[in-house]
Each structure stands twice: as structure tokens, then as C-alpha cells.
Structure 1
Amino acid sequence: MTRATARFRRAASALLAMTLAGVSLAAGLTLAPAAMADAERDKQYWLGEAGITKAWEVSKGAGVKIAVIDSGVDAQHPDLKGAVTGGFDASGAGSPNGQKSLGVKPEHGTLVATILAGRGHQPAGASASPGPGPAAAGPDGMIGVAPEAEILSVSTWLGSANPAGKSDQDQIPEAVRWAVDNGAKVINISLGSATPQWPQSWDAAFLYAEQKDVVIVAAAGNRIGGNLQVGAPATIPGVLTVAGLDRKGTASVDSSSQGISIGVAAPAENLLGGLPGGGYAEWAGTSGAAPIVAGVAALIRSKWPEMSAKQVINRIVSTAKDAGPAGKDPLYGFGVLNAEAALKDSVPEAAANPLGSISDWIRVHRRGNLGAPAPVPTDEVASAVPTLPEPTVPAAEAPSQRDSAVGAVVVIGSVILFVVIIGAAVFQLRRAARNPGAAREEPDTGAFQTVDSGGKT
């Protein structure tokens, strides 16, 4: 077994142990009763502090589909009524439309979805306000960052043995490709792993999303969950990785991790989310910070439908409030999310995605080894038919003739240099034999020094 193969197998094993990035018992998931939601609404401090309520003066996410790749979403939650418009089960474990919670933490996807696109609800017995969207949203329940956006629920089974037998190496690329094929312009992945590496089976799917101009937002992971460093998929170039903040607006000790791939930081402590069955929970983690940022990406894509994914990401990171050491750093990335500035400021156009490109990474690291998997079938899912054309996923380029020629020159040059060094050594040894006093070894350092003996050569 080569060293590279062993590294890949270790990475694959770690990825099979992938866990949900935000919720754990150690993180203190606290169930809250279904309460009068003016109190619940008051707990959504991030709407004001991150500039989201001000951003709503410009956009509320209308016309944008956001895929939530997670444990499934309870579309019957009162705050998600009408928000979930399609879905797919990438796990194969029994949620055909992605609207049934699965896996080891079945509430997780609903928590994420309500932060992202909750619409609130009217109290029992109250008459609904006319018109769609947050202007008509009831005073009870949660209102999401992009309350007029649509949710595509893509369910996965991660963190425990999948009864359907499909691993994350199959589920994640299927989930990403289905989301892209079904019109998602933003994908939220609040999942994390214990390694920065990802299996090659993911390459083509993330490249496909990049080529189809989709913004992917991923959670950085949490220290309290054992993720001291950012793990895949948040390490994939081009992905907008989100770190977590505490209530003081500083990097969270427990509910975040660190790494050079972090793009922006958002609130991750004292969060609130919906649970299957209509309840709520207080929770913490970058699983909640990611949909806050994904929601802002949806606001931007709704305001400027023709804006490219790289420009959306650039707008978010370039308007972030710098924190920590000056400039980009491994705790805050480019800074703290500022939704109002992201929607209102004038931002110069970027030449490239400031967080890199999976296409460039593949060209360098997977040369000649990239295969294009077959598209995920969607003909059995009537709720969200394909809206984009078939992809063109190029294979990574094999080494060029020029590369081979350069390699040959280097080898020949090395041989010539070796012969010259040997010849010089023989010459010096012969000289030393004729002139024993010409050279000696220093007893302390072991270095050779020339000594003038006064003799003739």
C-alpha cells in the first residue's frame, strides 16, 4: 500500500464517521415548549445584530431556491408552511421527498430550515394577514433570514450506520448534484467531518455546482464536538465556510473551529430553531451560523438574479467587519457577517472567487484521475423537476509533453551534477594524499576547513 493510498483510506474512514456539525448533547440542545412566539421572536437576536432586518429593506429572498442538505426537514412545522417546495432522499433510507427526519439527529434539518427560511405563523384563532412572505408572517414562531425563499430538503443519513447501506461518499455527491439539477442557487451544508480531506468521489459534484454557478455554504465545525480544525466539506475550495461567534460577537470557544478556509463568521450561540412536531429548541454550533449566511446569500441572489456565485461570495466577505488580526485570519476569515452592508454597499467586482476554485484544485491535485459520475435520477421526484441542462464535467488534464520534457531535463542535469561532484571529490582525495597537511577535520564541529600548509601542490 502506498503512502497516498493509506492517507486516502484514513480520510475515508474519518468521513464515514461524519457527524452533524452543530447539535450535540455536549453543546446543550435545550428543548423549548411551543410558546407564544413573540417571546420566541425576541430570541432571534441575530436578525438585528447581523444587520438582517436592515437588509430586508432591499430583499427578502423571493424567487430563490435554497437546498438544505441535512437530516431531512419537517415541512409540516407551522413556521415552514409553504416554504418547502421540493425534496429528495439521498440516503435511500425512506424519505422519498426529503421531508421526513432521518439519522442519528432527526431534528437537525428542521432547526436549520427555520433559521434559514422560517415564515412564522398566526396564533390559533387569528385570521391570516393578506399577501405572501414576511409582511404576512404571523407574530408567532420563527422568521428566517430569507423568509420569502423556497427550501429544497435533501435528506442524508450520517453520524450512524445507514440502514440503506449508502455512505457519505455516495450520499454527498448525489445530494449536491440533485440540488443543482433542481434549481438551487444556494446550498446549505451544516455537516462536518473530522478530516480536512474529502474522497475523490466528491470532486465532480462540487465542480458541477461551481460550473452551474451555485453558492455552497458550509459549517466550519465545533470544538466541543472534537473539531479543532475545519473539516470537509468546509475545506473544499470555493465553498463559503462559516465560523461561529458567541454572544459577545467574538470567536466562540466551543461552537466553532478554526482554519484557513473560513470565509466569514456569524452567530453560533444561544440560537433558536424549530423542531419536528411544531416545537422549538435552543441550540448552538456552526450548524446554525451557516444558514444565517446562506440566507444572506439568498437575499443577494434575489436582489441581483444575474450576479455570479463568485460575486455573491465576494460581496459577503468583502463587506464583513474585520475582527481579530487585521485581514483574513483562521478564526474569523474575512470578518463578521454584515448583512446590511452586503445588500446595500457598493462592492467592486472580483476577478475570482476569493475562497478559491475546486476546478483549479482538481487540475493540480487530481491530474488525470477525475471521472464524471452519472447524473442522479430525478424523474421519480415530481415536486422538483430538473431546471438546468446536463453538465459538462471535464476530466482533469494529464501531464503535458512539456511537463515530461522538463522532467527529463531535470533528471539529466542531476546525473551530470552527480558526476561532477564525484570527480571533484576524487581530485581532493588525491591532493590530500600527496599533501597530508592540506586538510583536517575540526574536532568539535566536524566541518572540513582548508589549512594553508605552506607546501607546494
Structure 2
Amino acid sequence: MSTALRVKKATGLKKSGSLLVIAALAMGMLSVLTPAQADTMRDSEYWLDSLGVTQAQQSTKGEGVKVAIIDTGIDTSHPDLKGAVVGGADMSGSGEAKGNKPIGVMSEHGTLVATLLAGRGNNKGEINRVKSENERLKAAWEKAKAEAEEENEKQKDDEKDVEVPKEPEYQDVPKLTGGSDGVLGVAPAAELLSVSLWMGEGNPANIPVEEQIPRAVKWAVDSGAKVINMSLGSTSPAWPESWDDAFKYAEDHDVVVVAAAGNRSGGMSQVGAPATIPGVLTVAGVDESGKASQDSSTEGISIGVAAPAEQLVGGLPDNGYARWSGTSGAAPLVAGVAALIRSKYPDMKAPDVINRILKTARDTGASGVDNLYGYGIINANAAVNNSVASVSVNPLGTIEEWIRVHRRNNAKSTEAPAPGVSMEKSDLKQVAAPKPIQPDTSTPVLQPVLVIGAGVLLLLVIGAGSIQTLVRRRRERLAASVASASLSSLKVGKSAGDHDLFDDIPEEDK
């Protein structure tokens, strides 16, 4: 793999006459690092302190919360994810049944996202230290043993043998587990569900990603996910109607859905679906200084909060690491905070979880909510530990209400039953028909008065019309007279500056 890979191409799919592009959003720089640099990863995670993650983890690390990562599949063999992935599924028809095979375009994307969200780090440094010490002891012993044996061979029969040293006891090599090396995620004790999609062209199963996504959301909900991370997006703010039910299903089952806002470097000039779906917590990207990223973010009214999206580090399949950029990395940082909150407050509903994240964010940019930062840059410590008033509804809206308002004209009409004879029995009893009433042949007194009044009104209308006709003809004769007069005979008033009728005409045209 190249040491500097920039992904520039997003793949598209025609549907119902519109182009909907779905792609993994790691559209920034991806610089591959060698495994030997694993011990430098922790020092590179500047957001652990700047976002208050380290402080928040003193209260909770996400225990007991399942987070579904709907992405390109997670390499569960990565040392930083040992024990993190507890289940999964493939929606593409081309991956492994448990979603643990990286597939499609940017197949490493899912593993990068997973390590940022729930990486446990690793203890490879300690393992290597113990192995190195044991090897040193063994080498020293073997040398001493060889020297002793050689000396004894030289000894005469009456000389005492040199004592051969015994093999030393070696330290037990620790098993691979979480540790101070590698990538530490925001919620390192959370349990991950790997839901793999094939994003991009060439899916052997020919299942469009538009169909994979709603299936993935429903599977995640049914599998117990309380948070869903979607570091993927489209170039269109609209989404297929077939997604409505899936996201409403997540909403109805109290699931927090977090989505990436997209990246300008990936060809996105605005936030695209699913980040535009009401109720979804959309994450924009900032650089290390906290300013909105020029390349690794975008803008839109649906942005909820912002998080670091530049100079990120994450794990790659086959035990590698990489530095990368994009809102694909910002989203799991926020999803991790959601997992911390749901762990500390297990009975808290999704609207309150989202509200905590929004209301405790550090206001950045224009005062109040804006299109670049939303409510501001996420503050993990405040979101987890501050006192925040409860809300009754999601401050980012609901897909249920959106469906009610915007899909009303698309609702399928119910056909009326064909006309027929009612088969219902009646409890009414028959009654005799009433006697006929004879008509009144007398003339009403008011009738002559109405006839005379109508005649007088008609005469008045005719007279008024004649007068209007005479006035109109007189005006027409006057207008004709004026039109035929010469320009010099018209009276033109002079202004204080002697501005006459020709002052605005060039001299040569006068």
C-alpha cells in the first residue's frame, strides 16, 4: 500500500432518475504507519485530553453498551480490538457472515473507525519487554553453561568440576490484552457490532448499497445496539423513501444514530444523507486548533456538533496503523461519547443523550448554532458529568414527524369498496305513509312588489352604462388631439437647473 493514499473517487448508483452516491468518508490523507510505531499512537491522540475524554473515562468507559458500526467491516484480529467485537453481520452478500471481513472500496475504513471508537490499545510493549528479557536471560545462561561444560572437559580427573549453572526461571509472557500502546478509543469498554456493507463498484452479489443500509440499521437495532455509527454519506441531502422505516425503527427503539457530515476533499459541497435525516446526530470536522476543517468537513443546517477530523490515528487490517483525516473519524469520537453517556445513565432516553452532547458542546464560530460547528465542539467530560435538564423530544427533530409532513402525498391510497347492496338487517318498524297535503293556490301579497322593484333596478343600470360610454368617448377624442400636436406646442416646465426635455440625449442626436 502506498505511504500516502488520497481517495478521490466516490461511487454512484442510478435510482429513480436521480444520482445517489454512497461512500465511506475517509476522503482525506491516509498515511500508513509501520507496526513498530504502535507505541507512538497514544501520544498522537491529542483529542483524548482536548475533548475531556480522559476525564470522562474516569467515570465510565462504555461498559454494557453495544455500538453498531455500519461500515466496510472490521478486522477483529487487530490487537487494539481484541475482545471488542461481540457480533456482526454482512448486508452486502459478499462479506463474511459475521461482518468481520473488510470488503469493498476503502476496505480498511471500518477498522479505522472501530479503533477510534472503542480501541482497547494493547500491551505489546510489555509482551515484547518480557520476551526480550527472557531471551537475554536464556542467552546468558546458555553461554555460561557452555563455558562451564567446556571447562569441565579440560579438567583432570583429580580436579573438581565447575558447577554448570541451572536454567533460570523466566517471566510469564503476558497474554495480548488492552494496554498503554496502540489506539485507545473514546469508549474502550463498549461492545462493537460489525455490520459490513459493500460501498463502491464491483459488488459480486450485485446488492445496491441503498438496499444494504436500511437492512443494516434494522439488524443493528434488533441486535441490541444502543448507538449506531455511520461514517458514510451521499452527495445528495435526500434519501430513498425505503430508508424511512429503518430510521424510524431506530427512533422508535430509542437508538442514538451518529453520522458523518462528509468532506470537501471527497467532492461533497454539502451535508448528504443519512446525515440529513431528522433526529440523526451529524458530526462536522475541525483541525487540531479547533477551526472548521477546510478539506475534512462540510457544512449544513443539520450539523449537530463538531469533533477533530485532522491528524487522526487508527488501526488498519493486518495489525497496521495509519494517520488519516475526515469526518469519518470525527463521527466515532462523538458516537463514543454517546456510549459513555448511555453506560453511566443506562435509563436515559436517546433524546436526552443527544441533548447532553449538544448543550455541553463548546460554542465555536458564530455565536449559537451555525452551519459549520452546529452547537460547537464536543466536550466529553461535560457531556458525561455535567447536570443537564431533561428534554421530552429530540432537539434535532424526529423522522416520524418528517414522514408525516413530507411523505403525506406519497401515501398509498386505500381503494373504496365496490358499490353493493347492504346486507345489514334493520330494526326499524314500518309506519303508515302520511296523508298528501293539498297545494295552496292563492297569490302571495309580496310577489307584485318584487316584480316592480326589479324593473326599476334594470333601468338604473342601463342609464349608468350610457353615461360611462359618453365620458369614455370624450377622453378618447382629447387623447387623439394631444398625440397629433407638435412637440414645441407642449408646455414643459423648467427646473432650477434649466434641465429641459433633451438634456439626457447626446448632443449629436439632438
TM-score (normalised: structure 1): 0.77
Say which SS state the counterpart of residue 402 (structure 2) adopts: helix
Aligned counterpart, 2:73: 72
Aligned counterpart, 1:20: 24
Q: Mean Cα displacement is larger for which, 59-68 or 34-43?
A: 34-43
- Cα distance in 2 between the residues matched to 1:145 and 1:80: 13
Matches within 5 A, 1:148-159: 148-159=189-200
Task: Give the 3 Å change call, closer, same or farther, for CA 350–432 of structure 1 in structure 2.
Answer: farther
The alpha-carbon deviation at position 397 of structure 1 amounts to: 11
Asked if 1:41 is matched to 2:42, the reply is yes
* Partner of residue 313 from structure 2, selected from 272, 290, 296: 272
Q: Per-residue displacement from partner, 1:245-286 (whole Å, max 9, x unpaired)?
A: 011111000000000000000000000010000000000000
Q: Per-residue displacement from partner, 1:280-310 (whole Å, max 9, x unpaired)?
A: 0000000000000000000000000110001
Q: Which runs of 5+ in 1 are unaligned?
A: 1-7, 372-395, 399-426, 441-457
- Cα distance in 1 between the residues matched to 2:472 and 2:255: 75
Asked if 1:284 is matched to 2:325, the reply is yes
Aligned counterpart, 1:435: 472
Q: Which runs of 5+ in 2 are unaligned?
A: 1-12, 131-171, 416-463, 480-510
* Partner of residue 238 from structure 1, selected from 266, 279, 296: 279
Q: Please tell me whether Structure 1 or Structure 2 has the larger radius of gyration of its CA atoms.
A: 2
Q: Is the 8 A contact 2:52 2:380 kept in 1?
A: yes
The alpha-carbon deviation at position 228 of structure 1 amounts to: 1.2
Q: Is the 8 A contact 2:260 2:330 kept in 1?
A: yes
The alpha-carbon deviation at position 35 of structure 1 amounts to: 2.4
- Cα distance in 1 between the residues matched to 2:119 and 2:330: 15
Aligned counterpart, 2:114: 113
- Cα distance in 2 between the residues matched to 1:162 and 1:68: 20
Asked if 1:315 is matched to 2:356, the reply is yes
- Cα distance in 2 between the residues matched to 1:310 and 1:128: 46
The alpha-carbon deviation at position 18 of structure 1 amounts to: 1.3
The alpha-carbon deviation at position 57 of structure 1 amounts to: 1.5
Aligned counterpart, 2:143: none
Task: Give the 3 Å change call, closer, same or farther, for CA 429–157 of structure 1 in structure 2.
Answer: farther
Q: Is the 8 A contact 1:14 1:193 kept in 2?
A: no
Q: Per-residue displacement from partner, 1:400-450 (whole Å, max 9, x unpaired)?
A: xxxxxxxxxxxxxxxxxxxxxxxxxxx99994773354999xxxxxxxxxx
TM-score (normalised: structure 2): 0.69
Matches within 5 A, 1:63-142: 63-123=64-124, 124-125=127-128, 126=130, 137-142=178-183
State the AA in 2 paired with 1:108. Answer: H
Q: Is the 8 A contact 1:101 1:155 kept in 2?
A: yes
State the AA in 2 paired with 1:18. Answer: I
Aligned counterpart, 1:387: none
Task: Give the 3 Å change call, closer, same or farther, for CA 154–433 of structure 1 in structure 2.
Answer: farther
The alpha-carbon deviation at position 199 of structure 1 amounts to: 0.2
- Cα distance in 1 between the residues matched to 2:384 and 2:284: 21
State the AA in 2 paired with 1:233. Answer: P
Matches within 5 A, 1:20-419: 20-21=24-25, 23-24=26-27, 27-123=28-124, 124-125=127-128, 126=130, 137-367=178-408, 369=410
Task: Give the 3 Å change call, closer, same or farther, for CA 11–230 of structure 1 in structure 2.
Answer: farther
- Cα distance in 2 between the residues matched to 1:295 and 1:337: 11
Q: Is the 8 A contact 1:265 1:333 kept in 2?
A: yes
Task: Give the 3 Å change call, closer, same or farther, for CA 56–154 of structure 1 in structure 2.
Answer: same
Q: Mean Cα displacement is larger for which, 360-369 or 203-212?
A: 360-369
| Superposed structure 1 runs of 4+ greater than 6 Å apart | 8-12, 127-130, 427-430
Task: Give the 3 Å change call, closer, same or farther, for CA 37–350 of structure 1 in structure 2.
Answer: same
Task: Give the 3 Å change call, closer, same or farther, for CA 51–433 of structure 1 in structure 2.
Answer: farther
- Cα distance in 2 between the residues matched to 1:54 and 1:11: 49
Task: Give the 3 Å change call, closer, same or farther, for CA 38–359 of structure 1 in structure 2.
Answer: same
State the AA in 1 paired with 2:23. Answer: T
- Cα distance in 1 between the residues matched to 2:469 and 2:49: 82
- Cα distance in 2 between the residues matched to 1:229 and 1:249: 20
Q: Is the 8 A contact 2:95 2:102 kept in 1?
A: no
Q: Is the 8 A contact 1:217 1:293 kept in 2?
A: yes
